[in-house]
Amino acid sequence: MEIDGRFWLTKGKQNFLGAGRVKLLETIDVTGSINAAAKELKMSYKGAWERVNGMNALSEQPLIERATGGRGGGGTKLTLYARELIATFHRLDELHRQFIDRFSEAGSDPERLARILGRTFLTTSARNQIPAVLQSIDIHGLHATLTLHLSGQETIRSTISTKSVESMGLVVGCDLYAIIKSTDVMIFTTLPSSDATDNLLFGIIETIKHIEDNIEITLRSESGTLIVALGQYDTAQNFQVGMQAGALISSIHIIIGL
């Protein structure tokens, strides 16, 4: 059994924006036409128009505008307000997914869920705060290697000081967070050379954003873990949404949080 939930923005107790409606708006922006977007999404034109019209009726400002004439022959495009709204939706949806992921740690164990609900959410600058269960502790003098179970069959390793293991009271089976700065994650499509302390997670690229001179890439692993990476990728033009890729993270860059 898994805990799940869909994210919606509502207005006046009416559904306003959901993942499907956002996808429709984004497709209209790409194709320049409600009719073309409907065909792309395998919807009827009437159904697509009713959704857009319903969103416009609830929106504080228009979401689409029609361009007439010109070299392109006119068409339909999103307003600046719509683009800002979509960006806000994606960020809130990401936070909602992180919230649900933390609940999903409990599985079908209500007592574990109660313990998770009693934990305080971490507030850090790190983009990746991944819920995990401590699977094993291997002490090597002043350092310890922790094996963390994420979800499904995925595990990663973290190297911290033995003193930290003791002071935090870490024991096998405890719930914790693997905290990773986005700049410490490397996304790759060709397996790089790595050593035994590196963690490799494989999955699908979900989003790519250009931020000044940097590229932010989110990767959804095979077991559903979301990883955010930020860096200057020389081969960024080769990355595409939907392609298979991997994330490389050194064990020394994984901080443990309770």
Yes or no: say if 49 and 34 are a contact pair by the CB < 8 Å rule: yes
Pairing of the two strands 175-180 and 255-257: antiparallel
Mean pLDDT, range 85-105, rounded to an integer = 81
CA 122 to CA 3: how far, in whole Å?
21
**Range with the poorest average pLDDT among 91-100, 119-128, 171-180, 191-200:** 119-128
19, amino acid identity: A
Per-residue pLDDT at 122: 54
User: Residue 73 pLDDT more than 50?
Assistant: no
Give the pLDDT band (50/70/90) at residue 65: confident
What CATH number belongs to 9-99? 1.10.10.10
Q: Which residue has the higher pLDDT, 116 or 205?
A: 205
CA-to-CA distance for 37 and 31, rounded, in angstroms? 6
* 112 pLDDT higher than 70: no
CB 182 within 8 A of CB 129: no
The 10s digit of each residue's pLDDT in 168-189 is 889 999 988 899 999 999 999 8
In the prediction, which pLDDT does 70 show?
45
Contact by Cβ (8 Å): 128, 227: yes
Work out the average pLDDT over 124-140: 87
Arithmetic mean of pLDDT, 182-204: 87
Q: What are the boundaries of each domain within the chain?
A: 9-99, 122-257
Q: Give the mean model confidence (pLDDT) for residues 29-35.
A: 91
Least confident of 67-71, 174-178, 225-229: 67-71
Q: What is the dihedral of CA 19, 25, 31, 35, to 10 degrees?
A: 100
Predicted structure pTM score? 0.56
Q: Classify 137 as helix, strand or coil.
A: strand
Q: Name 200's bridge partners.
A: 248
59 has a pLDDT exceeding 70 = yes
Q: Is the dihedral of CA 232, 236, 242, 246 positive or negative?
A: negative
Q: 130 has which bridge partners?
A: 178
**Tokens at 255, concatenated:** 């901080």
- Contact, 197 vs 254, CB < 8 A? no
Q: Is the pLDDT higher at 114 or at 159? A: 159
For range 22-45, the mean pLDDT: 92
11 pLDDT tier (thresholds 50, 70, 90) = confident
Fold classification of 122-257 is OB fold (Dihydrolipoamide Acetyltransferase, E2P) (2.40.50)
Contact indicator for 167, 217 with CB cutoff of 8 Å: no
What is the C-alpha to C-alpha distance for residues 233 and 35, in angstroms, rounded to an integer?
A: 37
Please, which contacts does 202-205 make with residues 24 or more away whose CB atoms are closer than 8 Å? 202/244, 202/245, 202/246, 202/247, 203/227, 203/244, 203/245, 203/246, 203/247, 204/242, 204/243, 204/244, 204/245, 205/239, 205/240, 205/241, 205/242, 205/243, 205/244, 205/245
pLDDT above 70 as % of the chain: 84
- 186-188/175-180 β-pairing: unpaired
Higher-confidence position of 180 and 4: 180
Q: What is the mean pLDDT of the chain?
A: 85
Structure tokens given for 159 = 């190297």
More confident: 71 or 228: 228
| Predicted pLDDT of residue 116 | 63
Closest CA to 180 of 166, 194, 201, 204: 201
